[in-house]
Amino acid sequence: MNTAPILEKMIAFSRGNLHDIDHLIRVWTYARTIGELEQLDGETQFLLEVAAITHDIACPLCREKYGNTNGKLQETEGMPLVKDFLRDTGMSADQIQRVSYLVGHHHTFEDVEGMDYQILLEADFIANASENGYSEEKICSFLDRVARTDSGKRLIRTVFCLQ
pLDDT of residue 76: 96
pLDDT of residue 82: 98
pLDDT of residue 129: 97
pLDDT of residue 1: 81
pLDDT of residue 35: 98
- Within 8 A by CB and 6+ apart from 49, the residues are 3, 28, 31, 32, 35
In the chain (163 residues long), the average pLDDT of successive 10-residue segments reads 95 96 98 98 98 97 94 95 97 98 97 98 98 97 97 97 86
Q: What gap in Å lies between CA 31 and CA 55, rounded to an integer?
A: 11
pLDDT of residue 90: 96
Entry pTM: 0.96
Q: What gap in Å lies between CA 3 and CA 5, rounded to an integer?
A: 6
Q: What gap in Å lies between CA 10 and CA 85, rounded to an integer?
A: 9
Report yes or no: 14 and 21 within 8 Å, Cβ to Cβ.
yes
Domains and CATH numbers, the chain: 4-159 (1.10.3210.10)
pLDDT of residue 163: 75
Q: Closest by alpha carbon to 51, among 40, 66, 62, 61? A: 40
